[in-house]
């Protein structure tokens, strides 16, 4: 199975399950789900198989660096949403994400620096998230709701897959952090339940990013030392352990 086929299969599963989870347990949990390396992990795995461990390690460092862009994206959307409609919020946050990503493409940050920087950025992002109550709204799924989310998601996936072979290992890693799923979830939460609901999605994303960081830390340390199966397996176990802990904290503080 190639990367394109994998993404096209994962897109409906991830967007659909996260959307339904948000309906059942709240928007923060849907954001927490998409904070996991559900697409970036598989992309780097197939990169390792196709281009070798060194290319994959460089891509993993790019993914970690992209975590900084995600934090800026989340804060920008959450604060713009307190004053503007979703289309202005998404335009501003995507602009900030793009500018941050372009800058990060020009700098090379070692693993032992980027990991604590990303972790501190996540903590700062959580502390700076706006507060507010979720507004009552339409929580019923209509027949076009989730299909529309899936259509938007797969369109972005096709675009990214098409340009990935031409942009190199670092930019490949950076672009795997494009906030595809969380954008869709944030827009619908914002539209249906107001800015606080979008902030809850984005707060959940930040909690989920601790597992994302742990995954790529372990992967970067092991990918050239062991086989892809061992390195990705241990990275996945690390991410699951961190993700379980972050869910307990999320539900306790914001449940």
Domain boundaries, the chain: 3-19+26-254
How much is the pLDDT for 84?
Answer: 92
If pLDDT is split at 50, 70 and 90, which confidence band does 164 have? low
Per-residue confidence (pLDDT) for residue 120, from 0 to 100: 97
Residues 6+ apart with CB under 8 A from 220: 57, 60, 61, 64, 111
What is the number of H-type helices and E-type strands within the chain? 11, 0
- How does the average pLDDT of the chain come out, rounded? 82
**What's the token pair of residue 44?**
């780097």
**Alpha helix ranges (H) inside 129-167:** 145-163
Instruction: Please compute, for residue 100, the number of CA atoms within 13 A of its CA located in the half-sphere on the CB side.
Output: 23
Give burial (CB, 10 Å; 0-12/13-18/19+) of 180. Answer: buried
pLDDT for the residue numbered 75: 96
Q: Which residue's structure tokens are 């994206």?
A: 73
Q: Rounded distance, CA 182 to CA 194, Å?
A: 16
Rounded CA separation 82/96 (Å): 17
Q: Each residue of 91-102: pLDDT tens digit?
A: 999 999 999 999
Q: What is d(CA 245, CA 241) in angstroms, rounded to the nearest whole number?
A: 7
Please write the tens of the pLDDT for every residue from 189-231.
Answer: 888 888 888 998 899 899 889 999 999 999 999 998 898 889 9
Q: Which residue has the higher pLDDT, 125 or 28?
A: 125
The answer to whether the CB of 105 falls within 8 A of the CB of 170 is: yes
Cβ(217)–Cβ(111) below 8 Å? yes
Residue 105 has pLDDT above 80, yes or no: yes
Long-range contacts of 220-223 (CB under 8 A, 24+ apart): 220/57, 220/60, 220/61, 220/64, 220/111, 221/111, 223/48, 223/53, 223/56, 223/57, 223/60
Q: Average the pLDDT over each of 32-36, 66-70, 146-150, 199-203 and give the range with the smallest value.
A: 146-150
Select from 167, 149, 207, 192 the least CA-distant residue to 18.
Answer: 149
Q: Give the 3-state secondary structure of 171-224.
A: HHHHHCCCCHHHHHHHHHHHHHHCHHHHHHHHHHHHHHHHHHHHHHHHHHHHCC
| pLDDT tens-digit series, residues 48-65 | 877 788 888 888 999 999
């Amino acid at each position: 199975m190639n990367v394109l086929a994998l993404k096209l299969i994962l897109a409906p599963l991830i967007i659909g399950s996260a959307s339904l989870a948000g309906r059942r347990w709240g928007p923060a949990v849907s954001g927490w789900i998409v904070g996991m390396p559900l697409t970036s992990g598989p992309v780097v795995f197939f990169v390792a198989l196709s281009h070798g461990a060194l290319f994959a390690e460089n891509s993993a460092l790019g993914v970690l660096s992209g975590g900084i862009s995600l934090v800026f994206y989340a804060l920008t959307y959450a604060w713009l949403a307190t004053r503007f409609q979703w289309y202005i919020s998404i335009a501003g946050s995507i602009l900030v994400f793009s500018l941050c990503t372009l800058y990060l493409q020009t700098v090379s940050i070692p693993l032992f620096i980027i990991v604590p920087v990303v972790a501190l950025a996540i903590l700062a992002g959580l502390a700076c998230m706006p507060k507010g109550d979720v507004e009552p709204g339409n929580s019923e799924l209509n027949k076009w709701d989730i299909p529309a989310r899936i259509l938007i998601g797969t369109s972005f996936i096709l675009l990214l897959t098409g340009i990935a072979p031409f942009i190199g290992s670092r930019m490949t890693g950076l672009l795997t952090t494009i906030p595809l799923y969380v954008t869709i979830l944030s827009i619908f939460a914002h539209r249906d339940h107001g800015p606080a609901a979008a902030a809850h999605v984005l707060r959940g994303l930040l909690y989920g990013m601790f597992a994302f960081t742990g995954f790529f830390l372990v992967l970067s340390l092991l990918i050239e030392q062991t086989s892809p199966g061992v390195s990705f397996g241990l990275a996945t176990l690390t991410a699951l352990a961190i993700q379980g802990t972050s869910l307990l904290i999320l539900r306790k503080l914001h449940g």
